[in-house]
A and B are shown apart, each in its own frame.
Chain A
């Protein structure tokens, strides 16, 4: 009984780390541009397909590392393209409805276009550890899963360093906190927007490779992560990066525990139940700042 619990918590942390990784880009884009992107999970899907192609060329470890790089680059570019073509023209209008709807349009296009191009059959990504597992007494897990956990944590660590230690990163954070002040300080906002999208989408692309390796790669794989990432983002307070990291772990653990102790069928709705409860009490999320007029 106890070991099942530990096992589930570990599983939750592992999947949660991927949720965090996806959500972090979503929340960053929201923070900087106030854009709610319902196509965010599809960045992960495209990243996963990039990996499928790279791995077909390059087997083993090289392939795996190559696909991470390829996914980040390809999806980063896709992010910039979508930002320029789809979101940028709407920024002056800035109504929530338009932005949400246009991103839903993007979601429909990306999902179905990839169905056209790649076909509906799921593809598997090769496990560079050859399905090896470890048993650590209280729980056992595949090395791949542990590696994914470590990798997401490292990616988030790098992002943290980038946002706090580099000029560009600080510009992004400044814009997120106060757009007008950032403008006054001479920050090139347009540049920051592009960069934020490249970064946010790129990270989602990387997360897509991890997610695809753990599960499978298929055209509609982005929908669920999008919803999860939104749940995480709202839990953490929209625009709050640290909140997104915690939110991801909370959701991951809540889901696996809920799935095994409450009901497997309702596993995917646990996140929604949590955010509805949280939002009823704190309309700006668990870690959200209270806003005023």
Chain B
């Protein structure tokens, strides 16, 4: 009981700190990094649900990110809907594509599925590159409107063009996302995903309709990735086909593996760690005049998999025991 209370206390403290950060630190670049880390938290967590919990190797996750970003941007710019609705449209359209990508997963697994998902993302990236009338090709869409200001009273409204205000929107989005994932993972749904991941025929034998579960988890995961993409579009106000690239997916999965695949806290820790690590490395690069950053990423990924099976989160084993209550 008291353990529980401690956990609650820590959580409350953590949340308070997160909300206080922009009040204390006003450095815009730092806040920008926090925002980027936050967007990656949503991406890694959604990838983790699909690959870490459900065992469906998806190497095209950036496609969902890109779909969400392009959908919202285009709907807002060409149709004129509100960016706030655009966020959800980005999520839903991405979810639909998730469902589509789920179809091959019914019969494919392991490497076959991995390649199919890469193919899916590459095809979409080429569409984004070449459908110039719609997407402006490799130039990307620019001048995407920011989230519209909320008018509180005639003389007072909240704008979302600053890093700080966007940070709060994102923070709320992340809390909602992580709340959903925590509930999902700890529920009957979550244990079913894990069963399916560990042994598909075994899961079928206890009544799991693996087909429907795969479709469901692809859809859910894609929704959140798409939502993150839409957020990104209205934050950065620029999306290019690079959003859908294999490199972007590799970043997502490096972060997740580093933090700890198949744990709730892992993707969060990994996304934050790598975002700031890569900034730190930028300084190192400036000093040694060499692009060592990506090399270090790669080594980190290899070392994590070889020596830290459960990532950084796994190193704190008491955390792991209560791994699913983390965050």
B291 surroundings in chain A (CB, below 8 A): 112, 115-116
Which of B51, B120, B290 contacts A116, CB < 8 Å?
B290
What is the minimal beta-carbon distance from A99 to any residue of chain B, in angstroms?
Answer: 9
Contact A97 B51 (CB under 8 A): yes
Structural contact, B306 and A86, CB atoms closer than 8 A: yes
Q: Which stretch, B15-23, B78-86, B106-114, B168-176, touches the partner chain A?
A: B106-114
Contact with B along A254-293 (1 / 0, CB 8 A): 0000000001011011011101100110011000000001
Residues of chain A in range 11-69 having any CB-CB distance to chain B below 8 Å: 30, 36
Does B276 sit at the interface, judged by CB under 8 A? Answer: no
Q: Interface extent on B, as a size class?
A: 35 or more
Most buried by A among B103, B201, B246, B305: B305
Residues of B within 8 A of A109 (CB): 295, 298-299, 302
A109-B109 Cα distance, complex, nearest whole Å: 26
Q: Does B115 contact A (CB under 8 A)?
A: yes
Separation of A227 and B301 alpha carbons in the complex (Å):
20
B225 in contact (CB, < 8 A): no
Q: Do A97 and B55 touch across chains, with their CB atoms under 8 A apart? A: yes
Which of A100, A268, A271 contacts B111, CB < 8 Å?
Answer: A100
Cβ of B298 and Cβ of A108 under 8 Å apart?
yes
Majority SS of interface residues in chain B? helix
Task: Return chain B residues, CB-CB under 8 Å to A293.
Answer: 201
Say whether A102 contacts B115, CB under 8 Å. Answer: no
Interface string of A107-126 (1 = CB under 8 A from B): 11111110110000000000
User: How distant is the Cα of A112 from the Cα of B108 in the complex, in angstroms?
Assistant: 32
A84, B299: Cα distance in complex, Å: 16
Q: Which of B245-262 contact A (CB under 8 A)?
A: 246, 250, 253-254, 257, 261
With a cutoff of 8 Å between Cβ atoms, the chain B residues found around residue A106 in the complex are 298, 302
Q: Is A96 on the interface with B (CB-CB < 8 A)?
A: yes
Interface residues of A in 86-111 (CB under 8 A from B): 86, 89-90, 93, 96-98, 100-102, 104-111
Cβ–Cβ < 8 Å partners of A275 in chain B? 115-116, 119
Q: Is A230's beta carbon under 8 Å from chain B?
A: yes
When the two chains form their complex, are residues A269 and B201 in contact, meaning their CB atoms are under 8 A apart?
A: no
Number of A interface residues at 8 Å Cβ cutoff, please give it.
Answer: 45
Q: How many A-B residue pairs have CB under 8 A?
A: 125
From A101, A266, A271, A283, B112 is in contact (CB under 8 Å) with A283
Q: Choose among B119, B292, B302 the residue that contacts A105 (Cβ–Cβ < 8 A).
A: B302
Do A269 and B123 form a contact, CB below 8 Å, given A102-B306, A113-B295? Answer: yes
Judged by a CB distance under 8 angstroms, whether B244 is at the interface is no
Contact of A238 among B111, B253, B302, B305 (CB under 8 A): B111
Q: Give chain B residues whose Cβ lies under 8 Å from the Cβ of A174.
A: none
State in angstroms the CA–CA spacing of A111 and B246 once bound together.
14
Q: Is the CB of B130 within 8 A of A108?
A: no
A37 → chain B closest CB, angstroms: 10
A271-B119 Cα distance, complex, nearest whole Å = 8
Q: Does B294 contact A (CB under 8 A)?
A: yes
CB of B129 within 8 Å of the partner chain: yes
Contact A265 B126 (CB under 8 A): yes
| A276 and B119 within 8 A (CB) | yes
Q: Are A268 and B115 in contact (CB under 8 A)?
A: no
A280 to chain B, nearest CB (A): 6
Within the complex, what minimum Cβ distance (angstroms) separates B254 from chain A?
A: 8
Contact A116 B111 (CB under 8 A): no
Q: Is the CB of A90 within 8 A of B306?
A: yes
Residues of A within 8 A of B201 (CB): 293
A111 to chain B, nearest CB (A): 8
B250 / chain A contacts, CB cutoff of 8 Å: 104, 108
Instruction: Find out whether the CB atom of B130 lies under 8 angstroms from the CB atom of A266.
Output: yes
A residues 200-231 near B (Cβ < 8 Å) are: 223, 227, 230-231
Q: Which residues of A contact B111 (CB under 8 A)?
A: 30, 36, 96, 100, 230, 234, 238
A36 to B110, CA, bound (A): 9
The B81-115 residues at the A interface (CB cut-off 8 A) are: 103-104, 107-112, 114-115
Question: Are A272 and B119 touching (Cβ within 8 A)?
Answer: yes
Chain A residue contacts of B305, Cβ below 8 A: 90, 98, 101-102, 105
Interface membership of B272, Cβ < 8 A: no
| Beta-carbon contact of B57 and A231 below 8 Å | no
Contact, CB under 8 Å: A227 / B118: yes
| CB pair B294 A283 closer than 8 Å | no
Q: How many angstroms from the CA of A90 to the CA of B123 in the assembled complex?
A: 32
Q: Which residues of A contact B261 (CB under 8 A)?
A: 97
Instruction: State how many angstroms separate the Cβ of A249 from the closest Cβ of chain B.
Output: 19
The answer to whether A101 and B122 touch (CB under 8 A), given A112-B291, A116-B290, A283-B107, is: no
Are B294 and A108 interface neighbours, CB within 8 A? yes
Q: Residue B213 at the A interface, CB < 8 A?
A: no
Task: Report Cα–Cα, A280/B116, bound state, in Å.
Answer: 10
The residues of A with any CB-CB pair to B shorter than 8 Å are: 30, 36, 86, 89-90, 93, 96-98, 100-102, 104-113, 115-116, 223, 227, 230-231, 234, 238, 263, 265-266, 268-269, 271-273, 275-276, 279-280, 283-284, 293
Other CB < 8 Å A-B pairs besides A279-B108, A283-B107, 5 of them? Answer: A96-B111, A113-B295, A115-B291, A265-B130, A273-B123
21 interchain pairs, CB-CB under 8 A: A36-B111, A36-B114, A86-B302, A89-B306, A93-B309, A96-B111, A100-B59, A102-B306, A105-B301, A108-B294, A108-B295, A112-B291, A115-B294, A238-B112, A265-B126, A266-B123, A269-B119, A272-B118, A273-B119, A276-B119, A283-B107
